[in-house]
A and B are shown apart, each in its own frame.
Chain A
Amino acid sequence: MQSQINVASDVSEQLALAALQGYGTPVLYKVRPGDRVSRILHNYYGALPGTARYREAELTLRYFNPALANPDYIVIGQTLKLLPLPPGGGSCPIPADVDPVQLNAFRAARPPRHYLEPASPNYVERIGQHIPLDPAERDAFFAPAWLEENYRWLAQPAGVGASALGLLTGPGNVALVREVGTAYDLYKRGVLTKGQYDYRRRTALQTFSRNVGPMERLLFKGQTANEVVRISRLLGIPATHRIEATAARLGQMARYATRGGVVLAGAGLYMACREMGRASGAQEKNEIMVEAVGSTAVGAALSLGVAIALTTTPVGWGVALVLAAGTAVASYGGGVGLRVAYDRWGQKVDFADRLEVSRLCS
């Protein structure tokens, strides 16, 4: 009997050590607005709802948080102990030929309990010593989780912003910066007079400033194009070095921003699909899909509306920014509106299943 207890104790210690060494760090997590248990378990344990790992993670959560009477009900500010699962954590699959009546009777007789409960009563104390108490460390866990949760509505304005930056730093504007260098070369070779060079430089930079509008200081870290695009006076450096460096920097920024904008916009749909994949039920899956359909459709319709408005009136920077921001906000609002309407009137219809989106995003 004594040897059996020792063996059990050794196993539990090994489990605890393995959990500490290679299977994640314990976290003391403070519930934030918008949190759901399924999301927290997914972010910390990588467990998808409906899987054995998810059930094991949920049991672990309940075991180490006895105050959590109902795991589906968490409140903002509540602190949860998230402790790592030991290696091989997860339930055995139930054979297909088991009689469901017997299975239910078995479950009723043995309510779920954590696998560490009988063998390692000091597990909580041991692992609790490793729980981070530093608020910054807790926030570091929260930040990626928050970003993942809110990516869908962040992606659209971020995509629009990146695309706009790509357009502003595009080839047309880079050519205006290079125009200053070309004019300087011509002046040095005697083709242009000083006055002609000054005029060309001033015209090119004024056009550049007008094109990029209020983004000028953002592009040049608080300076204007006139202050940055200048002739170098240092010995050993070509006179047009700063101009070429600025043009190259803008060109590189344009490439990154344009590609980034397209990727961000596409990734928004991917993230919606990913979120659907780890949604805990059909209701949540449908809400996410309906919101994505609503926001994308309203965004497309309003974009056409903006194009129609532009046919009659050329717009300046201020109006363009207002139109872009208004379209992004209205698009987001359209998605939320359709989602609310689905909750009120469409809950009985499983669109995600009917349109095969569930299977695509599983």
Chain B
Amino acid sequence: MQLSGHDLFMLCFWLMVSYLVWMPPTWFLLTFLLPRSLVDRYFCAPHFNQGELTVLSAFPGSVMRTGIFAWLVAFPSLDRRRGMRDIRNYTPRWFVNVARCFCVVAAGQGFVAIVLLVCLALWPGD
């Protein structure tokens, strides 16, 4: 079976539509459900600099803060500068699981969608 430009476009489009249906609402929901213990313990110097504390403390910056915490909870070993490698010790188990699922699926699906878009741009005309 040979993949045509039309098939690739349909795949890319429906991937993006499904991404929009679940990803932003889940991200907003996680912002409301972000455990208070994480914010109280880590959202301060020296883990965040003064500018970040200002920008990320209120909506819509708080959504970005959720993304940072979710990624660190999912993959604490990737932390190099913030000094939050023990973050899982202070995170409820349910949030660890949810954050791991969210990060893997959201980053993976977004990456695939963008790669498909680039492929479409380079795809020879039918």
* Residues of chain A at the chain B interface (Cβ within 8 Å): 163-164, 166-168, 170-173, 207, 210-211, 213, 258, 261-262, 290, 293-294, 296-298, 300-308, 310-317, 320, 334, 337-338, 340-342, 344-346, 348-349, 351, 355
Q: Are B5 and A163 in contact (CB under 8 A)?
A: no
Q: Which of B1-44 contact A (CB under 8 A)?
A: 4-6, 8-10, 12-13, 16-17, 19-20, 23-24, 27
Instruction: For the A-B complex with A211-B51, A301-B109, A341-B117 known, give 11 more contacts whose Cβ atoms are closer than 8 Å.
Output: A167-B54, A167-B61, A172-B54, A172-B57, A297-B17, A297-B19, A304-B27, A304-B110, A314-B52, A342-B13, A344-B5
Nearest to A340 among chain B residues (CB) is: B121
Nearest to A301 among chain B residues (CB) is: B110
In the complex, whether B96 has a CB less than 8 A from a CB of chain A is no
Interface residue SS majority, chain A: helix
Smallest CB–CB gap between B44 and chain A, Å? 12
Interface string of B102-123 (1 = CB under 8 A from A): 0000110111011001001100
**Bound CA–CA A158/B94 (angstroms):** 37
A163 and B110 in contact, given A314-B48, A337-B120, A338-B117 (Cβ under 8 angstroms): no
Interface residue SS majority, chain B: helix
Q: Are A301 and B81 in contact (CB under 8 A)?
A: no
Q: Are B54 and A337 in contact (CB under 8 A)?
A: no
Report B-chain residues with C-beta under 8 Å of the C-beta of A345: 4-6, 8-9, 120, 126
Q: Are B50 and A314 in contact (CB under 8 A)?
A: no
- Which of B13, B27, B49 is the one whose CB lies under 8 Å from A293? B13
10 CB contacts below 8 A, A to B, read A170-B58, A172-B54, A211-B50, A213-B51, A293-B16, A293-B17, A298-B113, A308-B71, A317-B51, A346-B6
Interface size on B, residues (CB 8 A): 52
**Bound CA–CA A170/B50 (angstroms):** 13
Nearest to A330 among chain B residues (CB) is: B114
A168 and B54 in contact, given A311-B79, A312-B79 (Cβ under 8 angstroms): yes
Report B-chain residues with C-beta under 8 Å of the C-beta of A351: 13
Report A-chain residues with C-beta under 8 Å of the C-beta of B81: 312-314
- Which of A308, A312, A349 is the one whose CB lies under 8 Å from B10? A349
Q: Are B64 and A170 in contact (CB under 8 A)?
A: no
Report B-chain residues with C-beta under 8 Å of the C-beta of A355: 17
Q: Which of B55-85 contact A (CB under 8 A)?
A: 55, 57-61, 64, 66-68, 70-72, 78-82
Report A-chain residues with C-beta under 8 Å of the C-beta of B78: 311-312
**Bound CA–CA A115/B29 (angstroms):** 59
Nearest to A342 among chain B residues (CB) is: B9
With most chain A CB atoms within 10 A of its CB, the pick from B48, B55, B72 is B55
Q: Are B54 and A170 in contact (CB under 8 A)?
A: yes
Q: Are A301 and B9 in contact (CB under 8 A)?
A: no
Report B-chain residues with C-beta under 8 Å of the C-beta of A172: 53-54, 57
Report A-chain residues with C-beta under 8 Å of the C-beta of B111: 301
Q: Are B64 and A307 in contact (CB under 8 A)?
A: yes
Smallest CB–CB gap between A37 and chain B, Å? 29
**Bound CA–CA A124/B111 (angstroms):** 59
